[in-house]
Copies of this chain bind each other. A is one copy, B any other.
Amino acid sequence: MKSSRIPRATIQRLASYVQILETLSQEGEKVISSEGLARACGVNPSQIRKDLAYFGEFGVRGVGYYVQDLLTAIKQSLGIDRVWNVAMVGVGNLGRALLRHKILRKRGFMLVGAFDCDPFKIGEEVAGLEVYSSKRLQEMAGELNVEIGIITTPPKRAQRAANYLVEAGVKGIVNFAPVRIDVPENIAVEYVDFIHHLFSVAFNISLNLSKGLI
């Protein structure tokens, strides 16, 4: 097939294939079938084959997919076969948790700058990074070659943080504050909101209760 518009859901699933393939790879598995992969991430095998078909032909008929090759192929397709420089705006509870977490680095997202507006936080060191004043974002982002911004400020400050980041020339933003932000069209934005998941669980429990399943 190749190209055409790629469903957002496909991208999400590809990301989970990566997670699973990384694990398989660590466990020394050499080959995996679409059925095996499907079981591991709870989707339909055809779905997987179709998702992959958007990007190319990575499997071997009668055999399956070579774990390493597929991993490489998907990463390339997603554009994560390289290191992305990331800056974080808002070094509070959540910001710190993210900075300290090694998974970002392991997946190729290098935190190169941390910014906050709180004078008590500026100058502090978190996970080996000095916290800078957000006023210096624009000046430093160029220097640090920042491409992606992560917003972990309170919701009311998210738009301002986004403005700083856009001025600083980032090309994409992941926003953890539960508000929509306004940015130019050609900036890629993703919203993360945990609360949604709690709502979902609460809803499903209520549903199960009303169906008498519990």
Which residues of A come within 8 Å of B, CB atoms? 8, 11-12, 14-16, 18-19, 23, 40-42, 77-80, 84, 86, 93-94, 96-98, 100-101, 103-104, 107, 109, 147-148, 171-174, 178-180, 185-186, 188-209, 213-214
Given contacts A11-B200, A213-B186, contact A205 B172 (CB under 8 A): yes
In the complex, 30 of the A-B residue pairs with CB atoms within 8 angstroms, ordered by the A residue number, are A12-B196, A12-B200, A16-B196, A19-B178, A19-B195, A40-B180, A78-B202, A79-B202, A80-B202, A80-B203, A84-B198, A84-B202, A86-B198, A93-B96, A93-B101, A104-B195, A104-B198, A107-B198, A109-B198, A148-B201, A172-B205, A173-B201, A174-B194, A186-B213, A188-B200, A188-B204, A188-B205, A190-B201, A191-B197, A192-B194
Q: Smallest Cβ distance from A21 to chain B, in angstroms?
A: 12
A93 contacts B104, C-beta separation under 8 Å:
no
Q: Which residues from B are CB-within-8-Å of A12? A: 196, 200
Prevailing SS type, chain A contact patch? helix
Q: Which residues from B are CB-within-8-Å of A40? A: 180
Q: Smallest Cβ distance from A125 to chain B, in angstroms?
A: 16
Q: Which residues from B are CB-within-8-Å of A189? A: 201
Taking A15-B196, A19-B179 as given, write out 17 further A-B residue pairs in contact, using a Cβ cutoff of 8 Å, ordered by the A residue number: A11-B200, A14-B199, A15-B199, A16-B196, A18-B199, A19-B193, A19-B195, A78-B199, A93-B96, A107-B199, A109-B202, A148-B198, A186-B214, A188-B205, A190-B200, A190-B201, A192-B197
CA–CA, A14 to B195, complex, Å?
A: 12
Q: Which residues from B are CB-within-8-Å of A185? A: 213
CA–CA, A196 to B94, complex, Å?
A: 17
Which residue in chain B gives the minimum CB-CB distance to A80?
B202
